Structure 1
Amino acid sequence: MAHIFVTGGAGFIGGNFVLDWFATQGAHADGIVNIDKLTYAGNLKTLTPLESDPRHVFSRTDICDRDALDTLFAQYKPRAVVHFAAESHVDRSIHGPAEFIQTNIVGTFTLLEAARAYWNTLDDGDKAAFRFLHVSTDEVFGSLSETDPQFSETTAYAPNSPYSASKAASDHLVRAYHHTYGMPVLTTNCSNNYGPYHFPEKLIPLVIANALGGKPLPIYGDGKNVRDWLYVGDHCAAIREVLARGCLGETYNVGGWNEKTNLEVVHTLCDLLDDMRPKATGSYRDQITFVKDRPGHDRRYAIDARKLERELGWKPAETFETGLRKTVQWYLDNQAWVQDVMSGEYRNWVSKQYAA
């Protein structure tokens, strides 16, 4: 069986990608070797639907462990690597940047070195067919004003947090391995994802969980920070297109064409919950509370995804309204999953971060 490697495949986007891969590729889909360290946000229960599927192999491996990576490459001989593994929460990077440097920079370097060593052993045909797809973020481009044009693939990098700086460094490493060693790499820079299996420290799942729990709905600052929102299933579809047909060495921006302020997002979530799981009295909007803004909070992100549509024919299938309704319904239907992750370390983190 042919395989691809997916790093971080027990996390939010990686887990959705793994599930969607088998759901969309059919009975003849390549197998996946799922490489994940299982940090706090890695959740094997996300992968429960694949427990009896022999095409899915899980390996609890740190991408900083070169020996372990070499063993996996030698054993499974993948035709591609899709690299999601990363520390990704801006707030956590402010409190503890060291883990972000280690995983996002050192880990990506180690994975590139292992992939390059393996790639150099392949015959000419397999070498030409091999792909290394690096999944990154729009946050590497910094912050926009209300009137600035959207981020394009040629926008200068200007990261403003330890998280975005570490992702920018990893992007540069991937680019360098293509230009220096000729490795067949691809990079995607996506906007804010939302959807099923999202760890409830991020805005949308946090608001849903707190709303249902009768807790305050925390919004940083004035709530007018703008993000472009991308349904995770659309993101997974874009990655499959780039992996299959992307031009080597190129970057592709992946966005949802949904610029919303944080306050707009929370209001929409409250209105959906009022409709789908109404309170006995009042509205979920009554639980909104404003908290002190976080340091270095970027004002606006916006993605220009026209290159991906023009060259590969991809555009998002979901609007913000349809995607968000699907997301709320999933969380209402999967409260056991939510309650399982909302324990221990997570609770301590939220108490620390959102203390009034």
Structure 2
Amino acid sequence: MVPAVNGDWLIRGRDGRLSAYALSGEAVHCRAERHPGGAWLPSRRMGGEQRLLPGLAVGQGADSYAHLVAWRPTPGGEAGLVHSTHFRPHLAPLDWLPIGHPNKKGERTGMPAVAVDAEGRAYVFVRNRGKGVQTINQKERGGWNGWHDLKGSRVDEELVAVTGESGRVEAYATNPDGILRWHQQEPGARPVAADPLPVRVAPGSLSALPTSKEYTTLYFTDPEGTLYAWRPDGDPIALIAAAGPGPVAVLRCVLEGHDCTLLAQRSSSGRVAFAAYPTEQESAGLWWTESGPQLPVGSRVALAEDAEGRVVAATSTADGELRLARQKEEPGLALAAWQVV
């Protein structure tokens, strides 16, 4: 199942406010805190009156600006990609601006993914008509460079894009032979293909998290439901049975003074399952702990830190109900009761 939003849909803005993005009907809507840690404002439509097709990508740069990418319908039953920038949660975002089609024109080809480099330039990745991968990126002084073919074959629809602690952009995809990876070798350069990882992987199960200056850790599930962590130059590490289908939400945070990686996923029971372990120390082991009410199939889970550094977990249902649970001010990962906002 391809998610309604690709990327971190719950983010903290430059002013410390949390905001949550959702594609509802034919428009993107945003909810934001009135002030950091406070009540939430009503939902509002983003990017003007442009009608959109299914699939939204969200990426955030070091400047905390949110970059949104989606498909819009074009004449003749075709589609094109559009981009908008949201500078602060309480401000209106820019209108949607067209950035084209990976094959110049045609129908929607796949879920886009977006990452933002250290200079604030957005890089968009999307599957093309031939089931390879194309990319396009912003110029340093405005506008966009042309589309570039990254190759690849038989690529599944969902891609993952991430910016490492180095500020360089990476992208990942799956195909029947395993996992494909592209990465920048220097800032501003076009991403290039790395050696593929020959593993059995469930499509739509990828998520990625920068875990050190050297590495991004990729998480994926195999067809039997085992969750793995993998860093380039190493072997995949089996972690635990996945709590449920789809990708895990991932967050790097400090728990009891330790640098930890937190995972969250809608479990097969319908509740949100959490697990944590010391970052890049998978051998320490981890286990799932469930929290909150049962959620409908297709509900989304996200993790973020608020302005005070507390972990915030969020869920969003297909009908737009947003729930939050915030970390208590006590040792460990104790969450306050889930609240509808």
Q: TM-score range by the shorter chain?
A: 0.3 to 0.5
Q: TM-score, normalised by structure 1?
A: 0.31
Give the alignment's TM-score, normalised by structure 2.
0.32
Bigger strand fraction? 2
Larger radius of gyration: 1
Larger helix proportion, structure 1 or 2? Answer: 1
Higher RCO, Cα 8 Å, sep 6+: 1
